[in-house]
């Protein structure tokens, strides 16, 4: 390969984020390129969760709702996320799942556009987002429509009947990145509200919710934010909208006086009204702890490294594997991509199994996509070189076609 492993080791030596790697519990014998699906465990999280179980729950019990701040974790963690997504103070709250939060903000938005019947989305959206909109419109049964267009047709499809534009910034397969500012502007020009899903953006690319004028957003904390399996999601509402909207899904945590136990719902001011039921505190605590690894990280450094790692991986694979039919998915412009790299790959499923057998963890997405998450906080340039070398060997020697090879235990 024209870029040598020594070149990559030298890049790591100059990397301002290199020291972050030691904060993570990276499993031995593995190069983990699936942090866009489940982020790696930050080492100190285990002790924090242990304390939450044994001391906060075990010893302090019910008093921990106040004494250990359980009740305010959704706001506390939300505030910590604001910097990572360019949000205004008091505009982000954590809890529930992306799908549940999307339902809340979708109904919040539709309540503001009663006469319009179209929810516009695109076929590059994560399917669950489309399911949320479909489930809602089927229930409403009053002429509402989920209109799904190709990603490149979104801008031209924002017509005067559109109530809400609902788009995921970074495509979970191709890594294609939508122009948040421009699409938001077009939505507002047409009188529509704008919802962004940042599942593959937060912690991966710079996001400027305030700067692009987004109305609503949701996002994921178990991918690039390393919050743990199924960690609670986040939700954003633009400050000026917060007191105007009301979701269809409400509950006592969104009440103005939850402990007054009134029989009538009175929405709390601000972002709090988007809360619903009691949150899973152990998972929430893991997430809170996990965010410590972001303290002091300059997101410009993060993005610079993300692009450099992705470019390196693309260069190495295209140089060495293109002859085996691998074809890059998504844009070549690094600013129009998220932080994962996907290739169309003949026999992609078997190839990914062979990679995993060799300790290179990525994933496969139908019909033929092998996908690699590039997580700048714990992935090194040498990792990328090593992963590319293994993939090159697997394809060159057709190792994906040898059952004995696949059955081997993972080693690097």
Question: Which residue's entry shows tokens 């969760």?
Answer: 49
Interface pattern 171-190 for a copy of itself (x via CB under 8 A): --------------------
Nearer CB in complex with a copy of itself: 16/47: 47
126 annotated active-site = yes
Peptide bond preceding 245 in cis form (omega within 30 of 0) = no
The span from the CA of 410 to the CA of 343, in Å, is: 22
Question: Which residue's entry shows tokens 């696949």?
Answer: 406
Distances in Å between the Cα of 351 and the Cα atoms of 316, 361, 403, 405, 410 are 17, 11, 12, 11, 14
Site for a copy of itself contains 378 (CB under 8 A) = no
In the region spanning residues 272 to 291, those forming contacts with a copy of itself, defined by CB under 8 A, are 276-284, 286
Of these residues, 24, 32, 103, 126, which one is catalytic? 126
Bridge partners of 205, per DSSP, are: none
Of these residues, 104, 223, 238, 305, which one is catalytic? 223
Report the nearest approach of a copy of itself to the CB of residue 37 (Å): 5
The span from the CA of 161 to the CA of 159, in Å, is: 6
Nearer CB in complex with a copy of itself: 4/138: 138
Stretch of 12-20, 120-128, 340-348, 390-398 contacting a copy of itself, by CB under 8 A: 120-128
Bridge partners of 341, per DSSP, are: 372
Distance of CA 368 to the CA centre of its chain: 22
Question: Which residue's entry shows tokens 């799908």?
Answer: 99
In the region spanning residues 300 to 359, those forming contacts with a copy of itself, defined by CB under 8 A, are none
Stretch of 9-17, 200-208, 255-263, 334-342 contacting a copy of itself, by CB under 8 A: 255-263
Stretch of 13-21, 130-138, 305-313, 375-383 contacting a copy of itself, by CB under 8 A: 130-138
Strands (E), 99-226: 118-122, 145-149, 162-168, 193-197, 216-219
In the region spanning residues 205 to 234, those forming contacts with a copy of itself, defined by CB under 8 A, are 222, 228-233
With CB under 8 A as the contact rule, the residue among 6, 265, 393, 397 that binds a copy of itself is: 265
Which of 178, 204, 220 shows the shortest CA–CA distance to 330?
178
Alpha helices in 202-347 (DSSP H): 209-212, 239-242, 281-290, 299-321
Question: Residue count at the site for a copy of itself (CB under 8 A)?
Answer: 89
Of these residues, 32, 103, 222, 343, which one is catalytic? 222
Stretch of 43-51, 84-92, 157-165, 314-322 contacting a copy of itself, by CB under 8 A: 43-51
Of these residues, 11, 20, 80, 371, which one is catalytic? 371
What φ, ψ does residue 346 adopt, rounded to 5°? -60, 140
Site for a copy of itself contains 103 (CB under 8 A) = yes
Site for a copy of itself contains 380 (CB under 8 A) = no
349 annotated active-site = no
Report the nearest approach of a copy of itself to the CB of residue 62 (Å): 5
Stretch of 80-88, 96-104, 325-333, 396-404 contacting a copy of itself, by CB under 8 A: 96-104
The answer for residues whose C-beta is within 8 angstroms of residue 330's C-beta and 6 or more apart is 171, 174, 175, 176, 336, 337, 342
The span from the CA of 289 to the CA of 226, in Å, is: 10
Site for a copy of itself contains 150 (CB under 8 A) = no
In the region spanning residues 57 to 86, those forming contacts with a copy of itself, defined by CB under 8 A, are 57-65, 70
The span from the CA of 376 to the CA of 217, in Å, is: 23
Report the nearest approach of a copy of itself to the CB of residue 113 (Å): 13
Site for a copy of itself contains 269 (CB under 8 A) = no
Site for a copy of itself contains 25 (CB under 8 A) = yes
The span from the CA of 163 to the CA of 245, in Å, is: 14
With CB under 8 A as the contact rule, the residue among 10, 53, 244, 411 that binds a copy of itself is: 53
176 annotated active-site = no
Stretch of 13-21, 53-61, 307-315, 335-343 contacting a copy of itself, by CB under 8 A: 53-61
The span from the CA of 371 to the CA of 329, in Å, is: 9
Active site residues: 126, 197, 222-223, 371
């Amino acid at each position: 390969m024209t870029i040598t492993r020594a070149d990559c080791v030298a890049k790591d030596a100059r990397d301002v984020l290199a020291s972050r790697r030691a904060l993570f519990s990276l499993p031995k014998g593995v190069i983990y390129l699936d942090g866009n699906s489940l982020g790696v465990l930050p080492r100190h999280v285990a002790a924090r969760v242990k304390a939450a179980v044994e001391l906060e729950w075990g010893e302090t019990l019910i008093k921990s709702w106040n004494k250990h701040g359980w009740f305010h974790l959704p706001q506390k963690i939300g505030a910590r996320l604001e910097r990572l997504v360019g949000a205004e103070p008091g505009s982000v709250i954590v809890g529930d799942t992306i799908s549940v939060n999307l339902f809340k903000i979708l109904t919040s938005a539709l309540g503001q556009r009663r006469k319009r019947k179209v929810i516009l989305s695109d076929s590059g959206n994560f399917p669950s987002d489309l399911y949320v909109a479909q489930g809602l419109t089927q229930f409403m049964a009053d002429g509402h429509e989920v209109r799904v267009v190709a990603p490149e047709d979104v801008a031209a499809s924002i017509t005067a009947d559109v109530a809400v534009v609902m788009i995921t910034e970074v495509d979970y397969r191709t890594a294609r990145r939508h122009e948040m500012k421009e699409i938001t502007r077009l939505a507002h020009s047409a009188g529509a509200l704008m919802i962004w899903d940042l599942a593959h953006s937060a912690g991966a690319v710079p996001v400027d919710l305030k700067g692009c004028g987004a109305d609503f957003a949701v996002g994921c904390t178990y991918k690039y934010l390393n919050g743990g399996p199924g960690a609670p999601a986040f939700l954003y509402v633009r400050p000026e909208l917060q007191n105007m909207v009301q979701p269809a899904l409400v509950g006592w945590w969104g009440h103005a006086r939850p402990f007054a136990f009134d029989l009538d719902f009175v929405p709390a001011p601000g972002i709090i009204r988007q809360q619903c039921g009691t949150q899973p505190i152990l998972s929430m605590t893991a997430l809170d702890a996990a965010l410590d690894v972001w303290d002091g990280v300059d997101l410009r450094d993060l993005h610079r490294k993300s692009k450099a790692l992705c470019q390196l991986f693309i260069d190495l694979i295209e140089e060495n594997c293109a002859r085996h039919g691998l074809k890059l998915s998504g844009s070549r412009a690094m600013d129009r991509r998220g932080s994962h790299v996907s290739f169309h790959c003949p026999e992609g499923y078997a190839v990914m199994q062979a990679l995993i057998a060799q300790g290179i963890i990525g994933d496969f997405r139908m019909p033929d996509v092998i996908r690699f998450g590039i997580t700048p906080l714990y992935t090194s340039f040498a990792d990328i070189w090593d992963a590319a070398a293994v993939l090159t060997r697997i394809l060159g020697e057709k190792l994906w076609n040898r059952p004995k090879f696949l059955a081997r235990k993972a080693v690097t």
